[in-house]
A and B are shown apart, each in its own frame.
Chain A
Amino acid sequence: MPESTVAIKGTKEGLLIALDPSEEWQVITTELASRLDGQSAFFAGARVTIDVSTRPVRKDELSSIKALLERRGMSLWSVASESSTTIDSANALDLRATYNAPQNNSLSDDSTPMFSAEEDGTLGVMIRRTLRSGRTVHSQGHVVVFGDVNPGSEIIAGGDVIVWGRLRGNVHAGANGDTSAIVCALDMTPTQLRIAGFITVSPPDKRRKPKPEIALIRDDQIVVETWQ
């Protein structure tokens, strides 16, 4: 039974600890702690990647795992998951996050799969002011900003990003891999624009006239065209 819920493997990059997504979190952490304590001297100093598969892990859960490892002289540096909740938690803790696309034959469906606004209700945020430098907005759904997005700020959305103002910060639409996501703004000069796995920067064109534009993926690249 222990073998099935917690699997510890050595890899080139350090230890890989895979946690069974179907078992209860409490049981898993207890099991992990006792497994590590059994061979504490062997594991001390190891750099650890945690693979939680489809399980959505909250930030506090992830940080308790991190603390659990640190108490045993190990360091958590990377998280692999099929759940975007887990990926967000990992990002929030400044851990390296690897997103594995969900498997269709996966039995558990408690992960956050591709987001569908119509079916899941309106997931998203509406921000009614200017996002200033240093602000970050994360959303599984869409993000609508009623104001400017200043340089030094960041929007990461599972869905679309709409800016009713000037977009000059960093923006990532379709962050979970949705290549149909779009970004639009009244003035589109982002520091960096990403849609799903594609990335682009604004051309250094100084004397351009602000006009509403939309960015989307066409033929495997980001194109920006007039928004009408």
Chain B
Amino acid sequence: MGVNAGVTTSGSRTPAPVKRARVVTITSGKGGVGKTTTTANIGVALAKLNQRVTLIDADIGLRNLDIIMGLENRIVYDLVDVVEGRCKLRQAMIKHKQLPELYLIPSAQTRDKTAVSPADMIQLTNQLRKEMDFIIIDCPAGIERGFRNAIAPADDVLIVTNPEVSAVRDADRIIGLLEAENKGPAKLILNRVKGDMVRKGEMLSAEDVTDILAIKIIGIVPEDDTVVSSSNAGTPLALSENSRAGVAFQNIARRLMGETVPFMPLDDSPNFFKRIARLFASGQ
């Protein structure tokens, strides 16, 4: 897997290659596992790593990503307006308040999935590829038209799942559908993991999940109460350094860029701090 297009090798040959963004689609099958939150946070984390990022909300009719990004009140044009030629692509791209290289193309609230076709999505992302490093698509739940729209242009697919049997079952279905579409091997984000429950054997562990799905994990995000409050406030966690979920999303962004980042210990905070304290105690 190429780390990043455009990284020049030693000695310049001919003109610099045209920078081609990577299109990453974030999907899950099941609803409510945290696709939109994940999209927002990975987008923010990548932008903080000085990447030029555009987020596309492909959930037409159920617009959400703008709220989590805190950009709801700035929407003038949306994805369907672009596709139907009512505005230029640039006009629908909303710039983030703090991160100047982060954009959002919101979805339409009043239409449905059929307003856009897979070919439209490919064309739209191709227009953006020259100017961006990452294009991240927030896929709607389900396996119908909205899903097909969202994966059509994807170079990489990230599947978000929770450590629950039903979410894993749906992820498995999605992997099968992606295989049928000849999309390369998807990677897994295991969201909302509770370390203490896993330890007690009450929750599926990362191993249990990969045992069934047999795909690579790119991120394990611990359950974190601050996710809800920050989503409501429109400031994705990854903007700040001091939450465990936020750090997990930043790690995913670094792994997407090709870095090798070890997975965080899954212990929940009290034990985590206790362990650090113990570490210091032993050091003295």
Contacts and interface: CB of A to CB of B under 8 A. Distances in A.
Interface of A: 129-135, 148, 150-152, 168
Given A151-B169, A152-B169, A134 B176 contact: yes
Closest 10 A-B residue pairs measured CB to CB? A132-B176, A133-B172, A133-B173, A134-B173, A132-B172, A152-B169, A133-B169, A150-B172, A132-B175, A135-B176
B212 interface: yes
Given A150-B212, A151-B169, 11 more contacts: A129-B179, A131-B176, A132-B176, A133-B169, A133-B170, A133-B173, A134-B173, A134-B176, A148-B212, A151-B212, A168-B212
A152 B173 contact: yes
Contacts of A150: 172, 212
A130 B214 contact: yes
Nearest to B172: A133
Nearest to B178: A132
Contacts of A135: 176
A49 B259 CA distance: 63
Interface in B164-216: 169-170, 172-173, 175-177, 179, 212, 214
Contacts of A148: 212, 214
Contacts of B170: 133
A176 to B, nearest CB: 27
Nearest to B201: A206
Contacts of A130: 214
Contacts of B179: 129, 132
5 contacts: A133-B173, A134-B173, A134-B177, A151-B172, A151-B212
A148 B172 CA distance: 12
Nearest to A148: B214
A170 B79 CA distance: 42
Contacts of B214: 130, 148
Most chain B beta-carbon contacts within 10 A, residue among A129, A131, A134, A148: A134
A133 B179 CA distance: 12
A190 to B, nearest CB: 14
B102 to A, nearest CB: 35
B81 to A, nearest CB: 35
Interface string B22-46: 0000000000000000000000000
Contacts of B169: 133, 151-152
